[in-house]
Amino acid sequence: MKRPALLFIAAVLVPALVLGGLVLRSLQDQRFVLERQQSLLAQGVADKLAVEVAADIAEVQREFAAQVETTIGNAPPKTAAASFDPKLREAWPLAEVGFVVDLSGQVLAPLLTDARPVAREFRIQNDLFLCNRVSVEVYANSPTKGQVNLSQVFSDGGNQAPLGNYSQKFNARNVEPQGQGVLLPQYDGLNKAGEPVRQRAELKQSTPPIDSNVSKLQTSEAEFRQLVSGAQEGVVARFLQNKLRVLLWYRTSRDPQIVFGAQLDLRKLTERLRSTVELDPALQGDFAIALLNDSAQPIAVSPAGVTVPNWRRPFAAAEVGEALPHWEAAVYLMAGDRLNATAATLRWSLLLLVVVMLAAIAGGGALLVVDGRRQLRLAQQKTDFVSNVSHELKTPLTSIRMFSDLLVEGRVTDESKVRGYLGIISAEAARLTRLVNNVLDFARMERGDRKFDAQPLDLAALVAETATTIRPHLEAAGLRLELSLPETPLSVSGDRDGLSQVLLNLISNAEKYAASGAVVELDASRIGTQVVVSVSDHGQGVPSGLGERIFEKFFRADDALTSGVPGTGLGLTLARQIARAHGGDIVYSPREGGGSRFILTLPALLTTR
């Protein structure tokens, strides 16, 4: 068997696999090119959407600046601060809170006594930062065009109010800001001693060009006054208690010391951004786009109503920008098969041919190997079966011949010994009969010739009758049979001889493997619509993993010629076949405390009154 298998592998399978591998390698290269094209297309769509959303945010910034000028009108900026919040919210729905800050370190609006909870919360969360009592870590300045030397802007000689105990020296290299600053704080507030807690944040410059992979950001520290110094407007994005807060600020040319700002209502902002998220009709069916917030949840999707199993894993994505940190324009691949259709049609014939060839070779080889191993195993089992049957036939025949010769020659005159020898001859003859019947019945069932005459019968009475018949044989082997039967009949429909053979096979199996001097337990009961008979022994049990294999024909968990345990490997197989022919089954389960338990279940016969 080994030599033909090696020849098959060397002459057929290996060349076929090499050829198939080369073809699959070529197909993989083509697929890589196609996927690269898909990625570039999807990334372009994501970048375009991110730019459009960023442009919409820039438009919001311009609207806010215009709204500030309209709201304060001709009034002095400091005088207009008192009514700025309600007027801004009434005129501009995107504003959740309008605020006014004097760069000297005073929040002019809203007041801490404001009736609105959101206004009071805004003051509590932002006072330390807006009053320049804490410094923040920044990466770039506000959106001033051209180069800005931050070390000169924030030098001690500038027109700034004293920083007190909370001032920090600010040093930074010259950078070229490309967009609006974004503040990403980690925490703020007061400690238990009432002192301001250091607040850390990040101010990131605008999203770099798509082809830029090198960051030009430098890290320094600054207060709010330093962030707005030298700029007229800007955006500050903050995360407070894991919630995004977006602040717009604007300074009029009449009084640059007064900063007007607004905390955006993100719910209304997202409603506005939904109109921006619109997929090109030519790409619908292949892709879906979504605008994801900082929690990776979609706030706008196109086409409408599309669902994605995992929004956190887009095919391509681009950050919206510093105004909405951690927000992304995401693209999802919806119909990859359609995009692969062009390349698939070019290589389909070759791929199909190779796959069929490899499948046929591999399948045929696998079938040959499996069938060969099965035939070898079956041949070995048949050889073992013949050996076991020969041994099983030889043992009772030897006993019968030996004791019958003693009786025929008259060598035994003691009546008690004569009865004992006759009992042995009778038991060995019964054992021989069961062995022959098992072989013949198994052969008939394999051919489908075994027929059962199903009649109503009391299984409890049949169990008791079988136990009475085999009890002397068990006692002679040093075993004790314990019987547990209900007082009421256990009615089933079955063939009396067939079910009796099942019980005898199960008890005989328990006798073989029960420890000497142990107990064989025979229980019968009705559970629901099933009649259950269990046969338990106190032996070593079945080795782990062989609980089902012991029911295979010819299979034995031991070798009867070396272990001293008789058997042919057909008893349990035949018993299960008979049980299943009656609509029931036999299963094995380990017995608590050691040993085996075989459970016979049969459908109970329903009686009508």
- Per DSSP, the residues of 444-498 read HHHHT------EEEEHHHHHHHHHHHHHHHHHHTT-EEEEE--SS--EEEE-HHH
Question: pLDDT class for 44, splitting at 50, 70, 90?
Answer: very high
Question: Residue 121 has which token pair?
Answer: 């919360």
- Mean pLDDT value across residues 183-208: 40
What confidence score (pLDDT) does residue 205 get?
37
- Comparing 163 with 287, the larger pLDDT belongs to 287
Looking up tokens 């008259």, which residue turns up?
410
Query: Residue 194 phi/psi, 5° resolution?
Result: 80, 15
> What local confidence, expressed as pLDDT, does residue 411 receive?
77
Stronger pLDDT, 230 or 128, i.e. the higher one: 128
pLDDT tens column, 367-378: 777 777 777 777
| pLDDT confidence of residue 243 | 87
Which one of 91-105, 144-158, 450-464, 571-585 scores highest in mean pLDDT?
A: 91-105
Task: Choose the most confident range, by mean pLDDT, from 204-213, 417-426, 516-525.
Answer: 516-525
600 strand-pairing partners: 533, 586
| Residue scoring higher pLDDT (98 or 132) | 98
C-alpha Rg value of the chain to the nearest Å: 45
Q: What tokens appear for 551 in the block?
A: 């029911």
DSSP assignments along 369-432, one per residue? HHHHHHHHHHHHHHHHHHHHHHHHHHHHHHHHHHHHHHHHTT----HHHHHHHHHHHHHHHHHH
Q: Assess whether pLDDT exceeds 50 at residue 458.
A: yes
pLDDT computed for residue 194 by the predictor: 41
Does residue 187 have a pLDDT over 80?
no
- The whole-angstrom separation of Cα 272 and Cα 261 is 20
Whole-number Cα distances in Å, 307 to 287, 300, 310, 323, 332: 12, 12, 9, 27, 10
Question: What CA–CA distances, in Å, run from 134 to 105, 127, 167, 244, 465?
Answer: 11, 10, 8, 19, 96
Q: What is the pLDDT of residues 464-517, one digit of tens each?
A: 988 888 888 788 778 888 899 998 999 999 988 888 888 888 888 888 777 766
Q: Which has more pLDDT, 529 or 30? A: 529
Give yes or no for residue 168 having a pLDDT over 50: no
Residues 490, 531 contacting (CB under 8 angstroms) = yes
Region of poorest pLDDT, from 184-188, 310-314, 589-593: 184-188
Report the relative pairing of strands 258-264 and 95-102 from DSSP bridges: antiparallel
Place of tokens 């690269």: 36
Contact (Cβ atoms closer than 8 angstroms) between residue 460 and residue 524: yes
Three-state secondary structure call for residue 278: coil
Query: In Å, how far from its chain's centre is CA 463?
Result: 50
Confidence of residue 86 (pLDDT cuts 50, 70, 90): very high
State mean pLDDT over 299-304: 92
User: Which pLDDT value is given to residue 63?
Assistant: 95
Q: CB of 108 within 8 A of CB of 145? A: no
Q: How far, in Å, CA of 53 to CA of 32, rounded?
A: 31
Q: Report d(CA 42, CA 536) in Å as an integer.
A: 68
According to DSSP, residue 195 is labeled P
Token pair for 497: 């001889």
Whether the predicted pLDDT of 266 surpasses 80: yes
Q: What pLDDT was estimated at residue 206?
A: 38
In sequence order, which residues have a C-beta less than 8 Å from that of residue 220 and are 6 or more positions away? 137, 138, 150, 170, 171, 172
Residue 231 — pLDDT band, cuts 50, 70, 90? confident
> How much of the chain exceeds pLDDT 70, in percent?
70
Exposed/middle/buried for 437, CB within 10 Å: 0-12, 13-18, 19+? middle
Confidence of residue 153 (pLDDT cuts 50, 70, 90): very low
Nearest to 582 by CA among 574, 571, 592, 590: 574
CB of 87 within 8 A of CB of 79? no
Question: Measuring CA to CA, how many Å separate 400 from each of 395, 404, 410?
Answer: 9, 6, 15
Q: Tokens representing 144?
A: 């001033």
Torsion of CA 88, 233, 300, 38, to 10 degrees: 170
Q: What integer pLDDT is reported at residue 171 of this predicted model?
A: 31
User: Which of 19-28, 212-221, 344-353, 357-366 shows the highest mean pLDDT?
Assistant: 357-366
Residue 338: both structure tokens together? 């359609």
**Residues 484/488/491/497 CA torsion (nearest 10 deg):** 50
In this prediction, residue 336 has a pLDDT band, given cuts at 50, 70 and 90, of low
Reported confidence tier of residue 525, pLDDT bands at 50, 70, 90: very high
* Mean pLDDT of the region 450-477: 85
Which domains are seen in the chain, by residue range?
Answer: 42-339 (no CATH), 450-603 (3.30.565.10)
Residue of 506, 501, 496, 494 whose CA lies nearest to 583: 494
Residue 239 host element (H or E) = strand 233-240
For residues 238 and 245, the answer to whether their CB atoms sit within 8 Å is yes
Residue 445 has pLDDT above 50, yes or no: yes
pLDDT of residue 446: 66
- Residue 265: C-alpha distances to residues 186, 270, 385, 562 (Å): 21, 9, 85, 86
pLDDT band of 560, cuts 50, 70, 90: very low
* Cα distance between residue 521 and residue 506, in whole Å: 11
Torsion of CA 392, 395, 397, 401, to 10 degrees: 180
pLDDT classification of 107: cutoffs 50, 70, 90? very high
pLDDT at 173: 29
Distances (CA, A) of 311 to 295, 299, 333: 10, 11, 12
Rounded to whole angstroms, how far apart are CA atoms 584 and 512? Answer: 25
Predicted confidence band of residue 158 (pLDDT cuts 50, 70, 90): very low
Share of the chain above pLDDT 90, in %: 29
In degrees, rounded to 5, the angle at the alpha carbon of residue 254 between the alpha carbons of residues 253 and 260 is 75
User: What is the mean predicted confidence (pLDDT) over 29-53?
Assistant: 86
> Which pLDDT value is given to residue 12?
67
Please state, in angstroms and as integers, the Cα–Cα distance from residue 389 to each residue in 102, 377, 525, following that order: 106, 18, 35
Average pLDDT, the chain: 76
Q: How many Cβ atoms are within 10 Å of 246's Cβ, its own excluded? A: 23
Banded model confidence at residue 43, pLDDT cuts 50, 70, 90: very high
Q: Residue 392: pLDDT above 80?
A: no
Question: Rounded to an integer, what distance in angstroms lies between the CA atom of residue 212 and that of residue 319?
Answer: 13
- Flag the least confident range among 68-72, 266-270, 424-428, 579-583: 424-428
| Whether pLDDT at 223 is above 60 | yes
